[in-house]
Amino acid sequence: MTDLFQEPNDATPLAPEEREGLLQSWITYRADLNEAEQENIVKGANWARRSRRRTVIGILNDEFVRELHKKMFGDVWNWAGSYRQTERNIGIEAYRIPNELGALLGDVKYWVDQETYRPDEIAVRFHHRIVKIHPFPNGNGRHARLLADMLIELLGGEPFTWGGGSLADVGELRKNYIAALQAADGFNIGPLLEFARS
Ligand SMILES: Nc1ncnc2c1ncn2[C@@H]1O[C@H](COP(=O)(O)OP(=O)(O)O)[C@@H](O)[C@H]1O
Ligand SMILES: [Mg+2]
C-alpha cells in the first residue's frame, strides 16, 4: 500500500497499489476518495459523540483507538481499525506499534491523574505522540485530531481548531502544522499548542 499522503492532485486516478483494500469500486480519482472518506469520517465522529465509552478511561485504551479508526474509515478501507504491518516514511517500526501505543496510553492516563500538564497540553502531547507512532496505514492525522478533540472535551475544554482550515491540502496551513509537529519532536510543544488553538 502506498502512502497516500504525498499525492498532489484531486484529478489523479488512483494507482492500482493505492486501491488496495478499497471497498467502494466507484472510487476512481483522488477527489472521489476524499469525498468517500469525508462522509465516513462524519459518520465516525457522530458515532464517537454518542459512544458509551466517552470517558477518559474509555477512550484511552487501544481497543477504543482501533474502533474509532474503523468507524472513521471502515466504509472505505478494509484495513480500517487494524494496525499497520509495513513501514512508512513516518512512524515507528510496525512491530513496535502495540507496545508503544500501550505505553503512550498509560502515560496520558498518568498525566490526567497527576495533572502533570494543563488539559490543552495533555491532549496536544497525546496528538503529537500518536501521530509519531503512526499506528494505521493511513488516516492517522485525522484520527489523532479527533482523539485529541475528544480528550480535551472530556477534560473540560473546547475542541481544537487545528489552524481553522483543511489540513488535507498541501499548503501554508499544512506546512505550519508539520513544522509544529517537528518542533514537538525537538521537545518544544509550544508551536503545536498554539497551532491547535489557531
Ligand atoms: N513530516 C510529516 N509529513 C506529513 N505528515 C506528518 C509528518 N509528520 C507527522 N505527520 C502527521 O501524519 C499525518 C499524515 O498521516 P496520514 O496517515 O496520511 O493521515 P491522514 O490521511 O489523516 O492525513 C499528518 O496529518 C500529521 O499529523
Ligand atoms: Mg493520508
Residue list, CB under 5 A from ion ligand 2? 4-5, 138
Q: Is the pTM of this model over 0.75?
A: yes
Average pLDDT over residues 90-116: 98
Domains defined along the chain, listed by start: 4-160 (1.10.3290.10)
Average pLDDT over residues 127-154: 98
Report the C-alpha dihedral over residues 88, 67, 82, 75, rounded to 10 degrees.
-90
pLDDT at 8: 56
* Ligand 2 center to 130 CA (angstroms): 15
Percentage of the residues of the chain whose pLDDT score is greater than 70: 96
DSSP class of residue 90 equals S
CA 90 to chain centre: 13
* pLDDT at 1 exceeding the cut of 60: no
B/e letters for 124-134, b = 16+ CB within 10 Å, e = fewer, are: bbbbbbbbbbb
* Ligand 2 center to 196 CA (angstroms): 19
DSSP string of 32-66, one letter each residue: HHHHHHHHHHHHHHHHHHH-TT-SHHHHSSHHHHH
Residue whose C-alpha cell reads 488535507 in the numeric block: 168
Instruction: List pLDDT tens digits, range 42-57.
Output: 999 999 999 988 999 9
* Distance in angstroms (rounded) separating the CA atoms of residues 171 and 156: 32
* pLDDT at 5 exceeding the cut of 60: no
Average pLDDT over residues 141-145: 98
* pLDDT at 2 exceeding the cut of 70: no
* pLDDT at 7 exceeding the cut of 70: no
- For a mutational test of ligand 1's pocket, the pick from 131, 134, 136, 177, i.e. the residue with the most ligand atoms closer than 8 A to its C-beta, is 131
Residue 168 in grid coordinates? 488535507
* Ligand 1 center to 20 CA (angstroms): 19
pLDDT at 41: 98
* Distance in angstroms (rounded) separating the CA atoms of residues 100 and 91: 11
